[in-house]
Amino acid sequence: MTAEPPEKLRVRPYADEDFSAVVALEINGIHEPYRSAVFVRQQVALSPDTFLVGVEEETIVGFTVAAIVHDRPNTAWILRMMVGNGFRHCGIGTGLLREMCRLLAGRGVREIFLTVSPKNEPAVRLYTREGFNKESLVPAYFGNGEDRFIMKRTC
């Protein structure tokens, strides 16, 4: 039997209201140990020039990834900012963020967005100190109980 798509199947671009259903498929489709590895591989494939690591004496102590929006090249999103547990409060996050903003500005980006949990005080403080302003608070941005500030900085 050939695997012809069913006649009743429609394929269309993603829309906001698809979020919960797509997340449910994603949860069932990728098992936990691989999820982070998938993310890193995907970001390297899509945004190799805006994937930065912080290195201290040969040790990777943190990383950050951003993506320039495909059809809006003056807009970028910082997708991850992570410093290893034992290396926090030493200025590494600040260094990664400043270098990322410098890099994006050099690429012609004029607006940088990111999302952060209102409960994540260290991150909100870091972003505010580095010139990001809260644009809005989106309830359940990542599902129930996972509200996020959208923050923006102009270059």
Ligand X SMILES: CC(C)(COP(=O)(O)OP(=O)(O)OC[C@H]1O[C@@H](n2cnc3c(N)ncnc32)[C@H](O)[C@@H]1OP(=O)(O)O)[C@@H](O)C(=O)NCCC(=O)NCCS
Interface residues with ligand X (CB under 6 A) are 81-83, 88-94, 116, 120, 122-123, 125-126, 129
Residue of minimal Cβ distance to ligand X? 93
Please identify, using beta-carbon distances, which residue of 34 and 142 lies nearer to ligand X.
142
State the Cα–Cα distance between residues 43 and 45, nearest whole angstrom: 5
Closest approach of ligand X to the CB of residue 70, in Å? 22
Give the pair of three-digit tokens for residue 138: 């989106």
- Rounded to the nearest 10°, the torsion over CA 74, 79, 84, 85 is 120
Please identify, using beta-carbon distances, which residue of 109 and 126 lies nearer to ligand X.
126
Closest approach of ligand X to the CB of residue 91, in Å? 4
Please identify, using beta-carbon distances, which residue of 94 and 108 lies nearer to ligand X.
94
| Nearest of 54, 70, 152 to residue 112 by alpha carbon | 152
Closest approach of ligand X to the CB of residue 154, in Å? 19
Contact predicate 130/101, CB 8 Å? yes
